Structure 1
Amino acid sequence: MNAATLLTRLYPPAVRERWGEDIRHEVSASGIRSWPDALAGAARLWLHPGDWPETFTGQTRRVLTVALFTLTAATGLLLRSTEPSTTLTADIHHPATSLWLAPLLLGIGLAAPLPPLSGAALRSMTAAAARTLAAPTAAVVALCLTAWSGMTEHLTGFVDAAAVTYYWLTLGFVALRLCVLVARIARSAALPTTRRLSTALLHIGTGLTLAAGQNLLAVVRTAPRPGSLTQTLALGLLAATAISAGHDLRQKRA
C-alpha cells in the first residue's frame, strides 16, 4: 500500500466514496509535500461531520456511531495504561474523582443503537455478536487463566516482556472487535438521531474534559511525570474532538 492510498483511507467513508480517487491522485501527483495538507484535511473533515456527503440515508449517523464508540474504546485503553490512579477513579467510594464518568456513560447510552424488535433480527445480531467476539473472548480467557495460575509472578526477562505484550495486544484486540461489533449492529439497528448523536458527543467531550482537568490539577500539585502529561494531553485531544464534532452536528441541524 502506497502513501497516497493510506492517506486517502484516513478520510471519512462518505468522502472516500465520493472523492477518494481524486484525493489519492492529487496526493500521489504532488508527492511528499502534500502529506501534511492531506492529514490536516482528513482531521478537519472528521471534526465537521455536517460537511460529509451521504451515499445512502443515515450514513453519517452510522459512521459517527461507530466513531463515537471507537473514541470511547481509545479512552478506556488510555486510562487502563495508568491504573491504579488516585486522580481518575470509577467507583462510588470516590465520587469526586469519579465525576468524569457520569457524562461519559450518559453519552454512551444516548449513542447506543437500538436493536430491532423482531425475532429474526435479534437472532441475526446475536449470531453476529458470537462470531465477532469469539476470538477476543478466547484471548481473554487465556489471559485470565494465565493470571490465576500464578505463573506471571515468576516471569522474568524476555518471557515477562512477552506476557506484558500479550496483555496489551489482548486489550487492543478486544477494543477493536467491540468496535467491529458496533459497526455490524449499526447496519440493521435503529440508529440514534442526529440530535441524540450531537448530545452524546458533547456529553462524552464533557466527561473527557473533566478527566483531563483532574489530571492537569494533579500534575500542577505534584511533580510532573511524562506519563501523566501524555495522558492529560491525550484526554484533552479526545475531548476537543468529541466537542468539536458535537457542536458541528448541532449547528448543521439548526
Structure 2
Amino acid sequence: MRAATLLARLYPPAVRERWGADISREVSASGIRSWPDTLAGAARLWLHPGDWPETFTGQTRRVLTVTLFAIIATSGLLLRAVTPSTTLTADVRHPATSLWLAPLLLGIILAAPLPPLRGEALRRLTTVTVRTLAAPGTAVLAMVLTAWSGVAEHATGFTEAALVTYYWLTLGFTALRLCTLVARIAQTAALPTTRRLSTALLHIGTGLALAASQSLLAIVRTAPRPDSLAQTLALGLLATVAISTGHDLRRARA
C-alpha cells in the first residue's frame, strides 16, 4: 500500500469518501514533505466532527458512537497495563479513588445505541453478537482455563513470554471485536442524538481527566515509574480528545 493511500485512510470516513482520492493524489505529488501536514489535518478533522460532510443521514453519529467506545476500550487496556494501585481503583468499596468511574459509566450509558425491541431484530442482534464475539470468547476461555490449571504460575523463559504475549493479544483482540460489535449494532439500532453524544463525550472526557489527575498525584507523591507516567499521559490525551470533540459537536449543534 502506498504511503499516500495510507495517510488518506487516516481521515474520518465521510471526509475520506468525499475527498480521499484527492488527498491521496496531493500527498503523492507533494512527497514526504507533506506527510506532517497531512497527519495534522487528519487529527484536526477527527477533533471537529461538526465539519464533516455526510454521505448518508446519521453517518457522523454512527462514526462517533464507534469512536467513543474505541476510546473506552483503549482506556481499559491502558488501565490494565499498569499494576493496580490504591490511588486509581475501580472498586465500589473505595469510592474516593473510584470517583472517575461515575462520569465514565454515565457517558457509556448515554452513548449506547438502542436496538429495536422486536423479535426478529433481537434474533438478528443475537446472531451478530455470537458471530462477532465467538473468536475472542474462545480466546478468553482458553486464557482462563490456562490460569486455573496453574501452568502460568510455574512458567519461565520462553513459556512465560508466550503466555504474556497471548494475554495481551487476547485483550487487544477482544477490545477490537467489541468495537466491531458496536459498529455492527449501530447499523440498525437507534443511534444517540447529537446532544446525547456530545454530553457522553464530555462525561467520558471528564472521567478520564479525573483518572489522569489521580494518577499524576500519585506520581508526584512517589518516585515516578515510566509505565505510570506513560499511562497518565495517555489518559490525559484521551481525555483531551473526548472533551474537545464533545465541545465541537455541541458547538455545531448550536
State the TM-score, normalizing by the size of structure 2.
Answer: 0.99
Matched, 1:81 2:81: yes
Pairwise CA distance, 1:26: 0.7
What is the aligned partner in structure 1 of residue 20 from structure 2?
20
| 1:188-203 correspondence to structure 2 within 5 Å | 188-203=188-203
- Take 2:32 and 2:64, find their aligned partners in 1: how far apart are those partners? 30
Q: Secondary structure at the match of 2:117?
A: coil
- The within-5 A match list for 1:161-176 is 161-176=161-176
Q: Percent identity?
A: 80
Q: Deviations over 1:109-135 (max 9, x none)?
A: 000000112211111111000000000
How many Å apart are 1:83 and its aligned residue?
Answer: 3.1
Pairing 1:82-231 to 2, within 5 Å after superposition = 82-231=82-231
Q: Which amino acid aligns with 1:246?
A: G
Deviations 1:48-71 (A, max 9, x none): 000000000000000000000000
Counterparts of 1:37 and 1:116 in 2: how far apart (Å)? 43
* Residue 51 of structure 1: aligned partner: 51
Whichever residue aligns with residue 165 of structure 1, its letter is T
SS at match of 1:174: helix
Alignment of 1:230-245 (within 5 A): 230-245=230-245
Count of matched residue positions in the alignment of Structure 1 and Structure 2: 254
The one-letter code matched in structure 2 to 1:194 is T
Matches of 2:119 and 2:19 in 1, distance apart? Answer: 39
One-letter amino acid of the counterpart of residue 46, structure 2 = W
Most deviating of 64-73 and 88-97? 88-97
Distance 1:31 1:86 in 2: 50
Residue deviations 1:1-43 (CA, integer Å, cap 9, x gap): 1111111111100000000000011111111111111110110
Which portions of structure 1, spanning 4 or more consecutive aligned residues, are displaced by more than 3 angstroms?
none
SS in structure 1 at match of 2:162: helix
**Aligned-residue CA RMSD (Å):** 0.7
Letter in 1 for 2:137: T
Flag structure 2 segments of 5+ consecutive residues without an equivalent: none
Amino acid at match of 1:52: W
Q: Any unmatched runs of 5+ in structure 1?
A: none
